[in-house]
A = this chain, B = another copy of it.
Amino acid sequence: MDDVEVMAGMFRLMGDPTRLRILLACLDAPQSVGAIAAATGASQSLVSHHLRLLRAARLVAGTREARQVFYVAADDHVRDVLRNLMHHAAEERRST
């Protein structure tokens, strides 16, 4: 798999609204699965499914703490990409 496909894979993961909300929910601080489900309004099962994909692509990292598992955005690249396109989206809204 070449770089382009790796990149595309990451973008595709961020390209689903539910998954994007999950990512944004744990952008700044680790959040438990339950908290993410509550924050995003998605079912626990769905959140878990998505987290698995995000974890497999190393976009988030999860650590177990007693019964709960806390997930957080993997690194600064991910955070930067999200913040960057957030600005772009904001500008799009303003100009249309």
Contacts and interface: CB of A to CB of B under 8 A. Distances in A.
A13 to B, nearest CB: 7
A47 to B, nearest CB: 15
Number of copies: 2
Q: Is the interface of A mostly helix, strand, loop or mixed?
A: helix
B20 A16 contact: no
A80 B84 contact: yes
A77 B85 contact: yes
B88 A77 contact: yes
A4 to B, nearest CB: 6
Nearest to A91: B77
Interface of A: 3-17, 19-21, 24, 58, 75, 77-78, 80-82, 84-93
